[in-house]
Structure 1
């Protein structure tokens, strides 16, 4: 069935489409140890995923780290990610069901965007690895302006594609995704298979929280064709 009205799905990437939990934690541990700092545990890491990298690391680092050491930590994390990404056997898979849903939405005529705390370089690497570039009509990253939970990326995606808030929705796994979507006035759909817990997503303003791609697909069809 083809859409008869504009519909825009704005996607987060890490923890929503791509299972990057292990690699992000590994890179965080490598960067912190290299800087002579105790690495954060996974529970601390998962709470900052989605924020711009500098903001995320400043949250995890000691409060007295200073600007120079923080900048060095940011660079160390970036380098660690490049090394992990280019190591043979690197594993950062799509979640089961993600590719099928993207393909279905594209065939139905949805517009699709990315709003992510990753850099454009990081997004393009994932697009290349998983052959995703053709699904997305516009891509907005932390490089482009204010990061999550500021509504900037969602607003820019809607503006680029000529969609109003009532025609758009945000899909993500983190509280920062939900807060960003609500700040932009769009429907916010949380997914529980990534970094955020269901109760956290609800508390952050999620209109719905989904535990599998099947129910997410049904929700999107309702939004599109009701």
Structure 2
């Protein structure tokens, strides 16, 4: 029996190097709210969570609901300001576009499952011309965020894929936890926000340190799952 194959991608820290801009936005937002900005080591641990949960984790424990809401809005505005500033730099990782090209040529289905908003994803897709690679996109504003399995389950459901036909690829412990909760194979990458030991502790089935070995892993996954067109039933009788 032939099967589908689906690669579900995180974005920040996996496809795009957003480490500097996210930390800069955090510092701007917190200072604007009169709060001490978080250190990078604290910021990197919450990347992937929905924005409200992430900022609530970084903010002082006694922060009020109104102040937290204002902090969320300050972060959103900070991101817009940084994104439109001269010299703004949020590059794709070396090897990312080549792997996306290869997977698309080989007939993979591809999805996004990200803590970014749709507005943030749209801006990123426009900047790097990525929209054509992805068959479905699920964001923090669609429903429960990471590590809840909602986004992975919705991606599989939208494309008619089963867990054994699907992979979650991400750089954060929340990506690994989300993938495992949805019953899919979770591939961690160490070049983003999460450390390799943290990804392993979060249940990563594999950990990759460059796109070369990630490409090899996806090729091996595909070799035991020959591709078929979505919605096509095999003949019987």
Q: TM-score range by the shorter chain?
A: over 0.9
Please state if 1:105 is matched with 2:71. Answer: no
| SS in structure 2 of the partner of residue 18 of structure 1 | coil
Q: CA deviation at 1:5?
A: 2.9
Distance in 1 (alpha carbons) for counterparts of 2:164 and 2:21: 35
| SS in structure 1 of the partner of residue 87 of structure 2 | coil
Distance in 2 (alpha carbons) for counterparts of 1:204 and 1:5: 28
Distance in 2 (alpha carbons) for counterparts of 1:42 and 1:225: 40
| SS in structure 2 of the partner of residue 95 of structure 1 | coil
Distance in 2 (alpha carbons) for counterparts of 1:158 and 1:6: 10
Q: CA deviation at 1:88?
A: 1.3
Distance in 2 (alpha carbons) for counterparts of 1:88 and 1:111: 35
Please state if 1:148 is matched with 2:146. Answer: yes
In structure 2, the residue matched to 1:138 is 136
Q: Give the counterpart of 1:201 among 187, 199, 202.
A: 199
Q: Give the counterpart of 1:27 among 18, 25, 33.
A: 25
Question: C-alpha root-mean-square deviation of aligned residues, in Å?
Answer: 0.5
| SS in structure 2 of the partner of residue 205 of structure 1 | coil
Structure 1 length normalisation: TM-score?
0.98
In structure 2, the residue matched to 1:216 is 214
Please identify the structure whose Cα radius of gyration is greater. 2
Distance in 2 (alpha carbons) for counterparts of 1:54 and 1:19: 22
Q: CA deviation at 1:176?
A: 0.0
* 1:1-226 alignment, distance < 5 Å: 5-226=3-224
Q: Which runs of 5+ in 2 are unaligned?
A: 225-237
| SS in structure 1 of the partner of residue 156 of structure 2 | helix
| SS in structure 2 of the partner of residue 23 of structure 1 | helix
Runs of 4+ in 1 over 4 A off after TM superposition: none
Distance in 1 (alpha carbons) for counterparts of 2:64 and 2:53: 13
Q: CA deviation at 1:74?
A: 0.2
Structure 2 length normalisation: TM-score?
0.94
Q: CA deviation at 1:103?
A: 0.3
Q: CA deviation at 1:96?
A: 0.1
